[in-house]
Chain A
């Protein structure tokens, strides 16, 4: 803690120096700064472009819509643009610092095509940022979905380099990494389990989400703690102009969102809720056992946004979600809650800061009804509380400095189980709590050199400390527990450091083509004890410790980016190589739950993955979508697993294709389709058998020596919109979608079953989850 305080103080002392520095400008140079917002609802526009036509230079607005450009005195035409919005031009005479707040109008459907394609839609080419993908909620909503529940994570799985881990699941693997190597943030708070209903739906309710950005590599130094990717999900701020209601009624869930100003242009709010009602159908069942079942989930998102003045902006946001399952025998519930308080402060025209408090809580409960001898309840939770300061200093048009500090305190209760009620025969078993502090400081600069080059160089220094009270088991070389060491409360008994360079180079050939290269090192101190491919809500996170080294990854990537037809077509090719050390797997038949000696079940080794990713993305007014193809390999080598020989990672799928298309063929009609193809998951199959006690038991091949059948699936949807009329506020649409149009029985798993009639006979039985699944959703807005 002392370390953090010192750093924090150091940073704070640094601030006035910077603030002072900016006042003593270079002679003859002035700064234009301000914010860029959506005229219709007052939402900040992230990544909008500010372009100084005469100088062929500019800036991009940050997460909170703020921008800053410093240029010499003169007469300029400044262009403000954002994809999907009308471009605004301002003529300025710059002889002093200027503040210009801009509100952009969304391009209406009735506008001619010309205006909506802004000149600066080539951000993908000219920004020194690769291996990233940003999706707005509109794109996500146009993708056909399972049971009509449009889902961010399902959309992410259609991107190059991203693999779905299992059919219909919310787990995803980025460039051959494990699902727990993705940092999932909702308004900067970590979401530890993004799944609802065993992963068929994610925790993100689209109506409350503004946009999503995925970093597959080239991870900015402000992020740390995971090896493979960052999925940064931002909630809407709420309409600051007028009240608005959005809702939807689907076959399994309904949604309702209310947003509006509390104090026009100053304070706005949004509240959004969603609940499934699959179990309401169970009530109609003739079977008593099914009738009494409960199975549902709900989500609640809320955010308040207070623009105190031009320089201060306060956000408070929260998420709460639960899954509930109950029948005669058992009850179970699990879910996340997150909270964020963020203060956005502009020290001056060039120094922007963001101070954030984050809180995150994931917990589950499993139990049986009280009053019997076998009544029990089992609880586990993971809580995070953290503070962050992120600052951006726009030195001049050629240099932008980002720096910051963060500290997160992790509190893990891996599990406590015991009897409930006086009749229960069970005594309590508790795996000791685990406490740790994860902190980081970073600094990076983005520097333009000449007309063609941009360099990005940064360093993140991360630190992880185990804090007492804690009990650490000591193991011999065969992982047998010898004894344990107990550390007192407040004792920082173990520390790891990580030095994580993040470097990027951009070379622009011209307005529409560029080359990019990047290298990044990432460290991971928390991981999921998950041995299965799909994962369950019961999986627990565990931290680095004297027995568990931090995972470290080095990734290098190279890419070529080229736009065509006035940026309506974006294409890119990226190749990458990723090397991972101390990756984690588990011994055979590992016991991961309620096991205080979990660390003895871990086996660590190396992993590597490489691949090439091709993307072709079309952004016409009526026709949009993308085609992605990924050719990749992901391997693991762990001394105690598979005789120490390398084996394919569970998410190694060499070929992966996704085609996503949306076509608004008539003003009131649009159709969407997506087709995915992937090599079958690697799997271990039996090659021999033995008979034991009347059961045929399999003798297995090497780890992941076989593959399931190739996976492919087509989904389609059609949407019919209400008539657009001037002044008419009520709008609706009906969306009919079909998942798995040609009813392919994609393998979810294969079991080997002994025949009931003749126990000598065994056969393979495939489980598939979804045949053809049609659904209808009605959405409204006023």
Chain B
């Protein structure tokens, strides 16, 4: 609903506005630890990427934090993560047999061999939330919308009424992950649907004008619906808006709020998934 509001207002504005690139001189700031990654209840290998912040116009891949000791625990079991290329990559992964248990709280402990922001230890915790079962999905082209129509991936599921839920949606076209960056992911809360049967509400909108994302008849479409924490929902929303300053809509810019200790940036997430597939007619 929020998205539609923004879109509506933006359209009214676009008639007037023009843009141009500008050069700015920005100050430098101190380096901070960045953690990015998550785990779910599906069995598989999960990656946590450790990097450092840089100056804003650094314009190169973020400097990696290699050689750290990264441990994952739910209080009873410990899982040591292995760096994919030891001492180089800064990417730490679990064994391929790992799966999380819904309801458990997982803690990520990071020990660095070189301090960042004068600290060598960082940690983060996240509870693995439950998710309602996806009954089915439907893919529909809404032809009235826009010049070539808008594709919708619609959800059918019973929303639990006794709790506040937050959802994250990923989708695959012919088994290729299309939401491969955090800004493409869709999120939703249950504010307007709490406790009701979700009878085909659109979770994902795809512009049929863009050939790289449009569907064709016969395409297999898979939707992954995940139950996430409120903190992660807020985080994704903030990341998606970050960098944009539209005087009408956005408040003063602020740093995104993650769940990493000691002033670290980023998020360690834990979520549970439910899947649905269909073939485009």
Contact = CB atoms under 8 A, between A and B. Distances in A.
Interface of A: 166, 197-198, 200, 278, 287-289, 293, 295, 325, 327-330, 332, 366, 368, 372-374, 376, 378, 417-419, 423, 425-427, 429, 531-536, 538, 586, 588-590, 594, 650, 683-701, 703-704, 706, 745, 748-754, 760-771
Contact of A689 (B22, B54, B146, B192): B54
A590 B26 contact: no
Interface string B158-188: 0000000000000000000000111101000
A769 B199 contact: no
Chain B interface mostly: loop
A423 B19 CA distance: 40
A764 B28 CA distance: 16
Give the size category of B's interface with A.
35 or more
A329 to B, nearest CB: 6
A289 B147 contact: yes
Contacts of A693: 36, 181-183, 185, 239
Given A687-B29, A693-B181, A697-B242, A330 B252 contact: no
- 3 tightest A-B contacts by CB? A693-B182, A531-B251, A588-B254
B183 to A, nearest CB: 5
A148 B260 CA distance: 54
Contact of B144 (A287, A328, A765): A328
Contacts of A538: 5
A771 B17 CA distance: 9
Interface stretch (B55-63, B68-76, B104-112): B55-63
A371 B249 CA distance: 28
B24 interface: yes
Given A366-B5, A691-B34, A692-B267, A589 B257 contact: yes
B58 A330 contact: no
A615 B192 CA distance: 54
Contacts of B79: none
B87 to A, nearest CB: 20
B145 A329 contact: yes
Given A426-B1, A691-B36, 13 more contacts: A289-B147, A295-B12, A366-B5, A425-B193, A427-B195, A429-B191, A532-B251, A589-B234, A689-B55, A691-B61, A699-B29, A751-B243, A768-B19
Contacts of A366: 5, 8
B18 interface: yes
A131 B71 CA distance: 66
Contacts of A329: 4, 7-8, 145
A699 B242 CA distance: 9
B102 interface: no
B22 A765 contact: yes
A327 B145 CA distance: 9
Nearest to B58: A689
A330 B7 CA distance: 9
A425 B36 contact: no
Contacts of A697: 239, 242-243, 256, 265
A697 B239 CA distance: 7
B96 interface: no
A778 B256 CA distance: 52
B19 A198 contact: no
A692 B239 contact: yes
Contacts of A764: 21-24
Contacts of B254: 588-589, 684, 700
A577 B250 CA distance: 30
B198 A425 contact: yes
Contacts of A200: 16
Contact of B201 (A425, A749, A750, A760): A425
A699 B258 CA distance: 12
B53 A690 contact: yes
A166 to B, nearest CB: 5
Contact of B251 (A330, A588, A691, A750): A588
Interface string B224-256: 000000000010011110111111111111111
A586 B251 CA distance: 9
A426 B192 contact: yes
A695 B255 contact: no
B20 interface: yes
B32 interface: yes
B248 A684 contact: no
A760 B253 CA distance: 21
Given A697-B239, A769-B16, A688 B200 contact: no
Nearest to A278: B15
Contacts of A692: 34, 36, 182, 239, 256, 265-267
A589 B251 CA distance: 7
Contacts of A325: 8, 12
6 contacts: A325-B12, A418-B192, A690-B53, A692-B256, A697-B242, A751-B244
A411 B18 CA distance: 40
Given A425-B196, A589-B238, A749-B246, A690 B266 contact: yes
Contact of B147 (A287, A330, A698): A287
